[in-house]
């Protein structure tokens, strides 16, 4: 609910980020006050936006559905605990993410575990965790999983991840369900893998999983993939006996200031009739949709220069804080937190890292900026902090959660001693590997 005098920030995908008194706010907090208190670069998240997105997905798919937040999008422990409290399970893709659930004090019973290559210890950990189900992605996992389940004395629920050969994602690097992609099992070779699962007494084939890719903006591919899976399942009785779940994956796209988010209700309308007729419970794995528009990356202008016909605005955030522009040519809207008067001009907003690909935005129309001004990179809540690195020996940024007028630091800025803690001096003989 916007406060009196609040104006929308049209580039932001969420009302929580709005303009009051000529400056950008997050919920009931001016962003400049957060930069002053915690420094920059700083990831800021709006709790209300995450809650609203989660509720929207829960409503679209109905109370029986399992909404499994894709932890990789933003794995901060406080966000996981908050999602859990609001009914979410989790989509996990590594043993590390299982450890995160434990660290967040969240049970794994509403969670699923996928991953294109799982290490033996991850399979053991997943079996011990008591998941909703385990997603098999390759034939070699079946005997490993069966043996781990037998050792554990349990019968494990398994969903087979199918690759339906549907092109749906945004950038080619985030499309995962085309014939040549490494994920899942192609439908034309899936029959013997289903048989191998069904033969194992310690495994129970409880469903099928498809993940189309990320940043999907049309609902149709979800229906298309389900139709292909249903046709496969109808090919033999053993492919459907005991099946209770269909996991349609994540990939729900957002607008990034230029367009509309995926119509999640339309996705639900396209799959629910088929799922209901078969008695299959829907599972969805949204990541970006729940947290992307809920986050901004705040950065301070360090200086400006003009060369080669380009105006550069140099800022203190870099590709180590937000890799998406360098990795996928992703475009995040960038706005001034307190815009100055004056004509806008086209600039490249670049970070301090020694790579030409270290830019946050190119050819952006920004108002005049001076050193010390704050910029906000919008819709940066997904795959921002989550993909952060220490490249150029930069400390990973702090993260703050805003909930109405309350502000919580949910990750402290890294310190330099933390950065070097695991490195060993050559003259340190206390480590047995030296000689």
Ligand X SMILES: Cc1ncc(COP(=O)(O)O)c(C=O)c1O
Query: Which residues, including other chains, have CB under 8 Å from residue 427's CB and lie 6 or more apart?
Result: none
Question: In the numeric block, which tokens belong to residue 99?
Answer: 């450890």
Q: Which is nearer to ligand X, 114 or 400 (CB)?
A: 114
For the CB of residue 217, give the shortest distance to ligand X in the complex, in Å. 11
On whether the CB atoms of residues 350 and 337 are closer than 8 A, the answer is no
Min dist CB 190 to ligand X, Å, is 17
How near is the Cβ of 256 to ligand X at its closest, in Å? 12
Q: Which residue's Cβ lies closest to ligand X? A: 287
- Exposed/middle/buried for 258, CB within 10 Å: 0-12, 13-18, 19+? exposed
Query: CA nearest 163: which of 143, 193, 184?
Result: 184
Q: Tokens representing 269? A: 């309308």
> Shortest Cβ distance from residue 309 to ligand X (Å)?
36
| Residue number with CB closer to ligand X (347 or 380) | 380
For residues 155 and 257, what is the distance between their CA atoms, to the nearest angstrom? 47
> What number of H helices and E strands is found in the chain?
12, 22
Q: 245 or 288: whose CB is closer to ligand X?
A: 288
Instruction: Name the minimum Å distance from CB 301 to ligand X.
Output: 30
Cα angle 251, 254, 256; round to 5 = 135
Q: How far apart (Å, rounded) are the C-alpha atoms in residues 342 and 145?
A: 63
Token couple for 25: 């706010």
Task: Work out how close the CB of 115 gets to ligand X at its nearest, in angstroms, rounded to a whole number.
Answer: 8
Nearest Cα to Cα of residue 383 among 327, 423, 422: 327
Closer CB to ligand X, 68 or 349, in the complex: 68
User: Is residue 368 classed as helix, strand or coil in its secondary structure?
Assistant: coil
Q: What is the DSSP string of 111-164?
A: -EE--SS--HHHHHHHHHHT-SEEEE-STTHHHHHHHHHHHHT--EEEEEEEE-
Map tokens 């037998």 to a residue. 150
In the complex with ligand X, which residue's Cβ is closer, 137 or 200? 137
State both tokens at 391.
């490249």
Q: Which residues bind ligand X (CB under 6 A)?
A: 70, 72-73, 91, 114, 211, 214, 249-252, 285-289, 382
Least distance from ligand X to the Cβ atom of residue 199, Å: 26
Residue among 53 and 288 whose Cβ is closer to ligand X: 288
Among candidate residues 331, 116, 142, 325, the one with its CA nearest the CA of residue 211: 116
Q: Which residues are catalytic?
A: 354
Nearer to ligand X, 170 or 367 (CB): 170
Nearer to ligand X, 70 or 142 (CB): 70
CB of 214 to ligand X, least distance (A): 3
Radius of gyration of the chain (CA): 23
Q: Would you mind telling me the total number of residues written for the chain in this entry? A: 435
What is the rounded distance in angstroms from the CA atom of residue 106 to the CA atom of residue 98? 10
Q: How far apart are CA 245 and CA 233, in angstroms?
A: 13
């Amino acid at each position: 609910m916007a406060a009196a005098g609040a104006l929308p920030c049209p580039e932001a995908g969420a009302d929580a980020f709005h303009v009051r008194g000529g400056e950008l706010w997050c919920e009931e907090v001016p962003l400049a006050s957060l930069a002053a208190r915690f420094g920059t670069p700083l990831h800021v998240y709006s709790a209300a936006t995450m809650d609203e997105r989660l509720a929207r997905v829960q409503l679209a798919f109905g109370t029986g559905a399992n909404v499994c937040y894709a932890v990789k999008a933003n794995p901060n422990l406080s966000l996981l605990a908050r999602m859990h409290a609001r009914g979410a399970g989790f989509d996990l893709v590594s043993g590390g993410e299982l450890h995160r659930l434990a660290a967040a004090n969240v049970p794994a019973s509403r969670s699923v575990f996928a991953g294109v290559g799982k290490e033996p210890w991850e399979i053991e950990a997943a079996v011990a965790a008591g998941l909703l189900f385990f997603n098999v992605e390759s034939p070699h996992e079946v005997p490993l999983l069966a043996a781990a389940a037998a050792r554990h004395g349990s019968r494990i629920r398994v969903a087979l991840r199918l690759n339906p050969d549907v092109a749906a994602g945004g950038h080619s690097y985030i499309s995962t369900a085309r014939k040549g992609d490494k994920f899942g099992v192609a439908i034309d070779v899936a029959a013997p893998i289903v048989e191998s699962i069904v033969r194992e007494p310690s495994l129970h084939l409880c469903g099928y999983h498809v993940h189309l890719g990320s940043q999907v903006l049309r609902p149709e591919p979800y229906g298309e993939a389900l139709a292909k899976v249903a046709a496969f399942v109808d090919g033999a009785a053993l492919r459907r006996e005991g099946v209770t779940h269909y996991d349609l994956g994540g990939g729900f796209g957002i607008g990034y200031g230029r367009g509309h988010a995926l119509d999640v209700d339309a996705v639900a309308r396209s799959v629910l009739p088929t799922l209901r007729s078969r008695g299959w419970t829907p599972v969805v794995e949204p990541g970006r949709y729940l947290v992307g528009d809920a986050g901004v990356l705040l950065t301070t202008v360090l200086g400006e220069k003009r060369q080669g016909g380009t105006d550069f605005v140099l800022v203190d955030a870099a590709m180590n804080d937000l890799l998406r522009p360098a990795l996928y040519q992703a475009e995040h809207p960038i706005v001034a937190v307190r815009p100055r008067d004056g004509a806008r001009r086209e600039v490249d907003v670049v970070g301090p890292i020694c790579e030409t690909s270290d830019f946050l935005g190119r050819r952006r129309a920004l108002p005049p900026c001076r050193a010390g001004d704050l910029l906000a990179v919008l819709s940066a809540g997904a795959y921002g902090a989550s993909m952060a690195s220490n490249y150029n020996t930069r400390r990973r940024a702090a993260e703050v959660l805003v909930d109405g007028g309350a502000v919580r630091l949910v990750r402290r800025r890294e310190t330099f001693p933390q950065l070097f803690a695991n490195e060993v001096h050559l003259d340190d003989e206390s480590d047995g590997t030296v000689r």
